[in-house]
Structure 1
Amino acid sequence: MDGLFNLLSVGFWVVLIAFFLFSMARIVGQYERSVLLRFGKFIKVLDPGLNFVLPFGIDQTIPVDLRTATIDVPRQDLITKDNVPVSIDAVVYFNVSDPKAAILNVQNFRHATTLLAQTLLRSVLGAHELDDMLSQRDKLNQLLQEQLDRQTDGWGIKVTGVEIKNVDLPEGMRRAMAKQAEAERERRAKIIAAEGEFQASQKLLDAATVISKDPAGLMLRTLQTLSEVAGDKNSTLIFPVPVELLRLYGGDKKNEK
């Protein structure tokens, strides 16, 4: 009887110790860290792996994910520097660089970063003109990233990138920009056509200069043109008689007299 009682006692203590060990064990993933608070006071940051803490609420652990996270900044309505109303949305890439600061210095670092990103999106882009938003988007992304990273540094947040996704314009502004683009293309087309006419006239002038040096050259050119026209059977052929040929014929008559 005493042996059975001793066996039960040993079993009880083994189960009790196993329960305590189980309640004290904390497993931290490789991609995260865990902030340890004892009686509400910061003790340390637990490294990945198996860690043991005091049970019964004496120690409190708060896990912090270190992987890169994204924030989809909601659409923001703003007025540009040149007084154009636009709607812009963006995405923010960030990760926690200091788990201690992310837990102790800000109540909810993700929510706080989201609100700050919305504010900076309106204030920074509102100081630029519409043409800058459309043509210098990479520069504005870099500017937003630098300012957001600087202001969240005290929260233990590292902002790795900001990307402006869409810039929505009013319908009237879209039509005006389409007309402007069409007018610009027409202007380029007219300039190109004028340059082509100028170059063609230069070449014709050079050809005329060469042909005028010898009357036979003009005759050969005339015959070449006639052969090209004669290729089309539907055309009426008008043969021009060079003045030099008439003069030659007239000169022969005078010599006969």
Structure 2
Amino acid sequence: MITILYIAMIVLLIVAASLRVLQEYERGVMFTLGRFTGVKGPGLILVIPWIQKIQKMDLRTVVLDVPSQDVISHDNVSVRVNAVVYYRVIDPEKAVIQVEDFSTATSQLAQTTLRSVLGGHELDEMLAEREKLNHDIQQILDKQTDTWGIKISNVEIKHIDLDESMIRAIAKQAEAERQRRAKVINSKGELEASQNLLEAANILAQNPQALQLRYLQTLNDISGDKTNTIVFPFSSDLGKLLVPPKS
């Protein structure tokens, strides 16, 4: 009787050791005597002790913080850049068999790719075209990690840190650009004003009566100023215009 109980207990222990429960977001890569025999899960999985081995893989998106990297831009400006990478395992078999540690491999690849891509652009492009750079880095990483069963869903450059001297230089450059634009706008305004004056002068030259009326309007405008004595030319044509002809 005791022997039967021992046997029953041993069987129960073996069965308990053989059962695995995988969550909905988990998969199990099964090896039988060292050979890959399939991907299991989710749910209850039976593993034969000492013969089969199962390695769990999490399929949820992982947020990878890329450490700050020293980057020299294409125009020889030294900056420190850090980023964040979002990735997930889409092929558990490749993630286990094709690479020893996919997490470390993805992190190292992200660091080198970040330096390589940003080093091929000038500082102005880094600051103004961040969305495009994110897309370029994501495309490169996704292509290289595909053989590992990894999908790079997004890459975001978080910070681009500059030296104080470079910040001051950029501020001076921005101020110079604002002054240049102001001068361009002012010159365009003067050009338009001169063109309008030329058109008005041509119209008045073609119509002497309009010129005389302009004289009268000018007199009316300055008549309210009593602090100065104003001498205004009065032509004979204007007198003819003001005095009606005798019938």
Q: What per-residue deviation string (whole Å, max 9, x for no partner) do you get for residues 196-231 of structure 1?
A: 111111111222222233444233223333444455
Q: Where does residue 29 of structure 2 map in the other structure?
A: 35
**Structure 1 contact 229–237 (Cα < 8 Å) conserved:** no
Q: Which residue of 2 aligns with 1:179?
A: 172
The residue aligned with 2:96 is 103
2:184 aligned to which of 191, 196, 202: 191
- Asked if 2 retains the 8 angstrom alpha-carbon contact of 1:226 and 1:239, the reply is no
Task: Give 1:45's aligned residue.
Answer: 39
Matched, 1:149 2:142: yes
Partners of 1:22 and 1:230 in 2: how far apart? 110
State the structure with more CA Rg.
1
Give the number of aligned pairs: 241
Cα pair 1:64 1:99 within 8 Å, conserved: yes
SS at the partner of 2:39?
strand
With the length of structure 1 as denominator, give the TM-score of the two structures: 0.81
Among 81, 87, 93, which residue is 2:80 paired with? 87
The Cα shift of 1:20 comes to: 4.0
Q: Which of residues 62, 67, 81 in structure 2 aligns to 1:69?
A: 62
Distance change in 2, residues 1:21/1:229 (3 Å): farther
Cα RMSD after superposing both structures: 2.8
What is the alpha-carbon distance in structure 1 between the residues aligned to residue 20 and residue 6 of structure 2? 24
Per-residue CA deviation, residues 122-148 of structure 1 (Å, 9 max, x unaligned), is: 223223222332233233223222222
Cα distance in 1 between the residues matched to 2:98 and 2:188? 67
Counterpart AA for 1:135: A
In the alignment, the residues of structure 2 paired with residue 110 and residue 116 of structure 1 have an alpha-carbon distance, to the nearest angstrom, of 10
* Distance of 2:206 and 2:116 partners within structure 1: 74
Offset, 1:240? 4.0
Shift of 1:171: 1.5
Local SS of the residue matching 1:152: helix
CA distance in 2, matches of 1:104, 1:182: 57
Shift of 1:39: 3.7
Runs of 5+ consecutive residues of structure 1 not aligned to the other structure = 253-257
Does residue 241 of the first structure (1) align with residue 232 of the second (2)?
Answer: yes
Aligned match for 2:204, one of 211, 215, 218: 211
Moved more, 206-215 or 91-100: 206-215
Superposed displacement of residue 84, structure 1: 0.9
1:218-252 Cα deviation digits (max 9, x unpaired)? 33223333444455x6x625444333149959xx9
Q: Deviations over 1:84-114 (max 9, x none)?
A: 1111111111111211121122222111110
Tell me which residue corresponds to 1:255. none
* Residues in 1 aligned to 2:232 and 2:105: alpha-carbon distance in whole angstroms: 92
SS in 2 for 1:82: coil
Identical positions, percent: 47
Conservation of the 8 A alpha-carbon contact between 2:18 and 2:47:
yes
1:25 aligned residue: 19
User: For the residues of structure 1 that align with 2:41 and 2:223, how far apart are their CA atoms?
Assistant: 94
TM-score, reference length from structure 2: 0.83
Q: Is the CA contact (8 Å cut-off) linking 2:98 and 2:147 kept in structure 1?
A: yes
After TM superposition, where is structure 1 displaced by more than 6 Å over at least 4 residues in a row?
8-15
Query: Which residue matches 2:112?
Result: 119
Q: Which runs of 5+ in 2 are unaligned?
A: none
Q: Is the 8 A contact 2:84 2:155 kept in 1?
A: yes
Cα distance between partner residues in 2 of 1:208 and 1:71: 71
Matched, 1:59 2:52: yes
